[in-house]
């Protein structure tokens, strides 16, 4: 068996220490194979972003990580020092966040920011790095890149900025791109463009992608495999093309039913999930979804379901 691009097992993410410690991601195991696109779907507060950030060593200050396995391209990161981890990830991972304006330095030219990556991790000279920047901007379909490379971020549209972030990830040859809600701030047409670009990179370069999104339809379109999170846990894991017809967890099904689509029957209301998710730091006994679940049984209120054959549910068949 070849090494996974990224692998983490029994991940717990907590905030605070001692008796103020609150755990918000509970026992999540995630594996992204080389060349695979994996989607992590969930609502606000489901822990999807913290899971992706913990796996890529990008947790915010105050958050701590605990795991039994943590590897990137086969390199054990659990035992590695912070700088060793930075070397392991450096130049091998591209990260795209929701809001490109807050990821780019507004005071510096786009090309200079792209060149930083190549200079840091690709050991390229200043002029080589600039040529690389122009090449990568062209690759992400920025028109007239020779001229645009000297623009400041405010001169770019939202879609161009997000494509610039992807270009930044491509300055070296990344093995994995982590994209956290990469298109939420964008128009649908631009969203489709950015997703097509990510899918194209995956097909042409074999880059693995970890895509975090609340949009289950978007995820189903580009991903090979989808992981559904609820209240800090994985509730279901399935092939993306099984999502529409073969989802088994009541939460996954409700999530699918709640999305307005171009095909939905307009005479019927959308599936509403009553109530709100529990605080992932204070999970109730039993299944965290039980209070909102249409198929709840007595067992669900007492025993916590574990992930078996891709689903964590006592009722799902």
Partner 1 sequence: MTESAPTMLQLDQVSIRYPGSPADVVQRVDLTIPEGGSLGLVGESGSGKSTVARAIVGLVASTGGRIALAGRDVTNARGADLARVRTTVQMVFQDPNASLHPRMAVGDALAEAVSVRRKFNGPDLDAEIARLLDLVGLSPRFTDRFPFELSGGQRQRVAIARSLAVEPRVILLDEPTASLDVSVQATVLNLLRELRSELGLTYLAISHDLAVMRYLCDRIAVMELGSIKEIGPASEMFAAPRHHYTAALIDAVPRLGGRSGTRIVLRGDPSDVADRPSGCSFHLRCPAGPDVVADHERCRTEVPELDDDAHSVACHFPVA
Give the residues lining the site for partner 1 (CB under 8 A).
43-44, 143, 157-160, 187-193, 195-196, 214-218, 220-221, 240-241, 243-245, 254-262, 264, 266, 269-274, 276
Q: Closest approach of Cβ 9 to partner 1, in Å?
A: 28
Give whole-number Cα distances, 308 to 109, 193, 266, 272, in Å. Answer: 50, 36, 36, 27
- Residue appearing with tokens 């209240």: 231
> Which is closer to partner 1, CB of 70 or CB of 289?
289
- Residue appearing with tokens 């040859």: 173
The per-type count for the chain, helices as H runs and strands as E runs, is 12, 11
> Which is closer to partner 1, CB of 34 or CB of 257?
257
Question: Using an 8 Å Cβ cutoff, are 161 and 101 in contact?
Answer: yes
Q: How many residues does the chain have?
A: 317
- 3-class DSSP state for residue 162? helix
Question: Using an 8 Å Cβ cutoff, are 160 and 104 in contact?
Answer: no
> Which is closer to partner 1, CB of 85 or CB of 242?
242
Q: Closest approach of Cβ 275 to partner 1, in Å?
A: 10
> Which is closer to partner 1, CB of 77 or CB of 160?
160
* C-alpha to C-alpha distance for 289 and 45, rounded to whole angstroms: 14
Q: Closest approach of Cβ 148 to partner 1, in Å?
A: 11
> Which is closer to partner 1, CB of 62 or CB of 260?
260
């Amino acid at each position: 068996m070849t090494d996974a691009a990224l692998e983490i097992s029994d991940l717990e993410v907590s905030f605070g220490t001692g008796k103020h410690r609150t755990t918000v991601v509970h026992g999540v195991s995630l594996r992204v194979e080389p060349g695979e696109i994996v989607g992590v779907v969930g609502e606000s507060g489901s822990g999807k972003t913290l899971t992706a950030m913990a796996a890529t060593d990008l947790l915010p200050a105050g958050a701590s990580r605990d795991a039994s396995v943590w590897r990137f391209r086969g390199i054990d990161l659990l035992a590695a020092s912070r700088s060793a981890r930075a070397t392991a990830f450096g130049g091998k991972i591209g990260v795209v966040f929701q809001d490109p304006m807050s990821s780019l330095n507004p005071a510096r030219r786009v090309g200079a920011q792209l060149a930083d990556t190549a200079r840091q991790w690709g050991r390229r000279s200043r002029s080589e790095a600039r040529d690389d920047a122009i090449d990568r901007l062209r690759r992400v379909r920025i028109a007239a890149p020779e001229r645009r490379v000297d623009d400041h971020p405010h001169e770019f549209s939202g879609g161009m900025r997000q494509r610039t972030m992807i270009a930044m990830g491509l300055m070296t040859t990344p093995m994995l791109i982590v994209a956290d809600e990469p298109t939420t701030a964008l128009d649908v047409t631009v969203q489709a463009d950015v997703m097509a670009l990510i899918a194209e990179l995956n097909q042409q370069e074999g880059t693995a992608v970890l895509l975090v999104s609340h949009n289950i339809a978007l995820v189903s379109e580009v991903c090979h495999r989808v992981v559904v999170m609820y209240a800090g846990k994985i509730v279901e894991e399935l092939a993306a093309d099984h999502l529409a017809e073969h989802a088994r967890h009541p939460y996954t099904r409700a999530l699918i039913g709640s999305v307005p689509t171009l095909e939905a029957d307009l005479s019927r209301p959308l599936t509403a999930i009553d109530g709100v998710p529990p605080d992932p730091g204070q999970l109730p006994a039993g299944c965290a979804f039980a209070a909102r679940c249409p198929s709840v049984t007595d067992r669900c209120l007492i025993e916590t379901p574990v992930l078996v054959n891709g689903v964590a549910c006592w009722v799902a068949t």
